[in-house]
């Protein structure tokens, strides 16, 4: 098994300007992804009901694509819910929102990603309390995902987006305290470039825990458009026998089609 390529499609109006390669037109994005030789698409929808399961099943079959993962960030972007809020009601809203996306993704064989929905500690919620909320939520949602037949993907973010777990060492230590064994790590090279002393070493620290990769450059432009050292990254991924997706989560720079082309070229050069 080797690393497989994927490209992001955002269906979220409120996320415009964000780091997603294709926007809004699922059919056109799937056609272009297939034409460029991608293995899969990663879909970011506003909520579970907005994941067009039947249409996606049809489009991916037509183009011999898979669905690599589905995002849950709509709960934060649109509703401002997250898993570490002080009131139990908001935390429950966040969990229910994520649970429904896990279920929709599972119908396509795609795991859900918890990124911005993890939240942060602030105000009345201490860091210790927030990590306890996160631990409980990942245990519960991880087991829910297991019953649905998919892993649950947790994405450490950089310090400007979360103050919970920013680095591989801390994330792995936290992961070891979970009761569920169904949570895997999303290694996002953009976040890692901000936080890690050495990205390749951090990938080795994650080791077998990595279940997904956001393949992007240092400036969040497509791979090859910044100063990321992909040779070192590729050898670390080979060392840990990484064989899941490398997904283009990058700005559509200079435009969607060019970003998708740049990423697949870099993928073929370094990871294929």
- Smallest distance from Mn ion to CB 257, Å: 21
Q: Provide the β-strand partners of residue 245.
A: 4
- The answer to whether residue 140 is catalytic is no
- Smallest distance from Mn ion to CB 115, Å: 6
What is the contact mask toward Mn ion in residues 159 to 198, using x (rule: CB under 5 A)?
A: -----------------------------x----------
- The answer to whether residue 161 is catalytic is no
Indicate the residue among 188 and 196 with the shorter CB distance to Mn ion.
188
- Smallest distance from Mn ion to CB 113, Å: 8
Among 82, 95, 214, 221, binds Mn ion (CB under 5 A): 214
Among 39, 42, 217, 249, binds Mn ion (CB under 5 A): 249
CA 264 distance to own-chain centroid:
18
221 is a site residue for Mn ion (CB under 5 A):
no
217 is a site residue for Mn ion (CB under 5 A):
no
Ranges assigned E (strand) in 72-143: 112-114
The contacts of residue 89 (CB under 8 Å, 6+ apart) are none
Q: Which two tokens stand for residue 229?
A: 């050292």
Which candidate, 187, 153, 162, 170, places its Cα nearest to that of 84? 162
Indicate the residue among 103 and 188 with the shorter CB distance to Mn ion.
188
Determine which helix (DSSP H) or strand (DSSP E) holds 169, and give its type and residue range.
Answer: helix 168-175
Of 94-102, 104-112, 143-151, 214-222: span binding Mn ion (CB under 5 A): 214-222
Q: How far is CA 258 from CA 145, 190, 254, in A?
A: 35, 19, 6
Measured distance CA(146)–CA(225) in Å, rounded: 37
Binding site for Mn ion (CB under 5 A): 188, 214, 249
Question: What is the set of active-site residues?
Answer: 155, 249
């Amino acid at each position: 098994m080797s690393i497989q390529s994927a490209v992001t499609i955002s269906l979220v109006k409120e996320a415009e300007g964000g780091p997603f390669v294709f926007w809004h037109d699922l059919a056109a994005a799937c056609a272009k992804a297939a034409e460029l030789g991608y293995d899969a698409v990663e879909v970011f929808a506003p909520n579970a009901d907005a994941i067009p399961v039947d249409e996606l099943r049809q489009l991916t079959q037509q183009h011999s694509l898979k669905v690599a993962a589905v995002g849950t960030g709509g709960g934060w972007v649109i509703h401002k819910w997250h898993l570490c809020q002080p009131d139990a009601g908001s935390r429950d809203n966040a969990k229910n929102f994520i649970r429904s996306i896990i279920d929709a993704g599972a119908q396509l064989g795609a795991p859900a990603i918890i990124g911005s929905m993890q939240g942060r500690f602030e105000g009345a919620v201490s860091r210790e309390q927030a990590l306890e909320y996160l631990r409980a939520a990942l245990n519960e949602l991880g087991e829910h995902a297991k019953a649905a037949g998919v892993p649950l993907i947790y994405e450490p973010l950089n310090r400007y987006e979360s103050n919970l777990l920013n680095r591989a060492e801390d994330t792995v230590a936290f992961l070891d305290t979970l009761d569920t064994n169904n949570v895997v790590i999303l290694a996002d090279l953009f976040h890692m470039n901000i936080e890690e002393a050495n990205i390749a070493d951090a990938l080795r620290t994650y080791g077998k825990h990595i279940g997904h990769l956001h393949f992007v450059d240092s400036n969040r432009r497509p791979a090859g458009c910044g100063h990321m050292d992909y040779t070192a990254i590729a050898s670390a991924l080979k060392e840990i026998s990484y064989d899941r997706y490398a997904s283009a989560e990058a700005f559509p720079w200079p435009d969607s089609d060019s970003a998708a082309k740049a990423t697949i070229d870099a993928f073929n050069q370094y990871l294929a």
